[in-house]
């Protein structure tokens, strides 16, 4: 029998969750959004300050660049910069850049997948939950997150000032 804490930690493995790279991608965008427009930095600096493994930062930056959320330039004076204003980048943009379209259950993408579809009342709940989540993520932009992050950092001496 599992202890209560082991049972709780096991539950987290089975929950609906974003993957680790999506979390890192959000940290990358937020880091840049908390600086003045046009701020340019390196992947190494972001990785160090946002506690992102060096082994993953370049892949995350590449995916965000492919989604046109970041611009990267090599060489002297190069680095990483936001491709758009933080007010034009949503959490949904970042999630979809890393994970693809949001799917809570396959029946919300392909209703023919489920042989019970004609009589399934759960399908409607999944569709509505997906719609609500998409709307929330779409309405959460990085200018708002940066403002909140700056506010939270003001009283925390362990946070690196930007």
Residue 162 in domain = no
Residue ranges making up the domain that contains 102 = 17-154
Give the per-residue pLDDT at 4.
47
> What is the rounded radius of gyration, in angstroms, for the C-alpha atoms of the chain?
19
Residue 59 in domain = yes
Residue 159 in domain = no
Q: What is the mean pLDDT of each run of 10 residues along the chain (162 residues)?
A: 48 66 97 95 94 95 97 89 98 96 83 79 89 96 94 68 46
Residue 134 in domain = yes
Give the per-residue pLDDT at 98.
96
Give the per-residue pLDDT at 80.
96
- Domains of the chain: total: 1
Q: Half-sphere exposure (CA, 13 Å, Cβ side) for 132?
A: 6
Give the per-residue pLDDT at 15.
53
- Maximum CA extent, the chain: 62
Helix (H) or strand (E) holding 70: strand 70-73
Q: Are 78 and 18 a contacting pair, CB within 8 Å?
A: no
Q: Are 133 and 140 a contacting pair, CB within 8 Å?
A: no
Residue 33 in domain = yes
pTM for the whole structure: 0.82
The CATH number of residue 49's host domain is: 1.10.10.10
Residue 105 in domain = yes
Q: Rounded to an integer, what distance in angstroms lies between the CA atom of residue 159 and that of residue 136?
A: 27
Residue 9 in domain = no
Give the per-residue pLDDT at 5.
47
Q: Rounded to an integer, what distance in angstroms lies between the CA atom of residue 134 and that of residue 132?
A: 6
Q: Are 86 and 141 a contacting pair, CB within 8 Å?
A: yes
Residue 1 in domain = no
């Amino acid at each position: 029998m599992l202890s209560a804490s082991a049972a709780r930690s096991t539950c987290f493995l089975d929950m609906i969750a974003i993957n680790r790279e999506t979390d890192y991608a959000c940290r990358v965008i937020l880091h840049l959004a908390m600086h003045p427009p046009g701020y340019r930095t390196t992947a190494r600096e972001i990785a160090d300050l946002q506690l992102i493994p060096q082994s993953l930062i370049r892949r995350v930056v590449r995916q965000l660049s492919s989604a046109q959320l970041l611009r990267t330039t090599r060489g002297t004076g190069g680095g990483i910069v936001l491709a758009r204003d933080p007010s034009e980048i949503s959490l949904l943009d970042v999630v979809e850049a890393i994970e693809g379209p949001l799917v809570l259950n396959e029946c919300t993408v392909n209703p023919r997948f489920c042989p019970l579809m004609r009589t399934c009342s759960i399908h409607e709940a999944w569709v509505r939950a997906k719609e609500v989540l998409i709307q929330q993520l779409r309405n959460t932009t990085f200018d708002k997150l940066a403002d909140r992050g700056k506010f939270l950092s003001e009283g925390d001496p362990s946070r690196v000032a930007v």
